[in-house]
Amino acid sequence: MKQSIIQWFKFGSPQAFYPLAGRMIPWFWAAAAAFGIAGLWISFFVAPTDAQQGEGYRIIFVHVPASWMSMFIYLVMAFWAGLGLALNTRLSGMMAQSLAPTGALMAALSLWTGALWGKPMWGAWWVWDARLTSELILFFLYLGFMALQAAIDDPRRADKAGAILALVGVVNIPIIYFSVKWWNTLHQGSTINLTKAPSMAHTMLWGMLLMALCFWMYSIAVALTRVRAIILERERHTDWVKHAVE
């Protein structure tokens, strides 16, 4: 037990985490590619045409994973930010900073694919509906977090300010998630629903889950790549960094 705690603290230092992340990145890329190929195959060649929405519903296979990841990445980012605020660990703030652009990208994709889905199905690119509006706020929270951190020169102070913003913004996540239940909105309810026609629901579910896993692995791979850059940028005046690059 004690040994394992020591291990966690060891990899909590940027110096130990930098090479570890480097070794992990190729595996996450490989997993992202494998899940992506399988997910795209199901999305386009296995999942049948929808009875109501025709082929237009296939947007679901990128819309739902992007939306899930936009919310999940925010929670992970807020977790790291909060940990950094509480324990004052160096790596935590770097992790939070590294996750923000990927989260913003996922939120942007969620909004973009949602607009492209909304137009043919609802007749509108955008409506000020609870689900859509709260997702837009999430996108702005990511942008605000990034802008705030970029505006403060001292990285440790930037981490603290960003952490407070990230933690306050967490309240938005349950609002997005439950918005379709709490308010009577245009956005459809939760997609995972196994009570529909079983064969249809199952292939759709599998396609969505595989695509979600692909997005998940992608997010980890790209966030680890970025955190390595952040580690070197922030620790560039330390001795270990001078020896870490060949």
Partner 1 sequence: MQWNSAGEFFAMGGYAFYVWGSFGACALLMLAEPFLAKRRLSEVRQSLIRERLADELELQQKTS
**Position 154 contacts partner 1 (CB under 8 A):** no
Q: Number of helices (H) and strands (E), helices first, in the chain? A: 9, 0
**Position 55 contacts partner 1 (CB under 8 A):** yes
User: Binding residue for partner 1 (CB under 8 A) from 70, 102, 134, 179?
Assistant: 102
Nearer to partner 1, 32 or 166 (CB): 32
Torsion angle, CA of 234/73/66/129, rounded to 10 degrees?
-120
Give the containing element (helix H, strand E) for 56: none
User: Binding residue for partner 1 (CB under 8 A) from 2, 45, 153, 154?
Assistant: 45
* Choices 72-80, 117-125, 147-155, 196-204; region in contact with partner 1 by CB under 8 A: 117-125
Closest CA to 119 of 62, 201, 186, 22: 186
**Position 218 contacts partner 1 (CB under 8 A):** yes
Q: What does the longest C-alpha to C-alpha distance in the chain come to?
A: 63
* Choices 88-96, 164-172, 201-209, 222-230; region in contact with partner 1 by CB under 8 A: 222-230
Number of neighbours of residue 19 by Cβ within 10 angstroms = 11
* Choices 77-85, 174-182, 199-207, 226-234; region in contact with partner 1 by CB under 8 A: 226-234
DSSP conformation letters of 125-169:
S----HHHHHHHHHHHHHHHHHHHHHH-SSHHHHHHHHHHHHHHH
| Residues found near partner 1 in the complex (CB under 8 A) | 44-46, 48-49, 54-56, 58-59, 62-63, 66, 101-102, 105, 108-109, 112-113, 116-117, 119-120, 218, 221-222, 225-226, 228-229, 232-233, 236, 241-242, 245-246
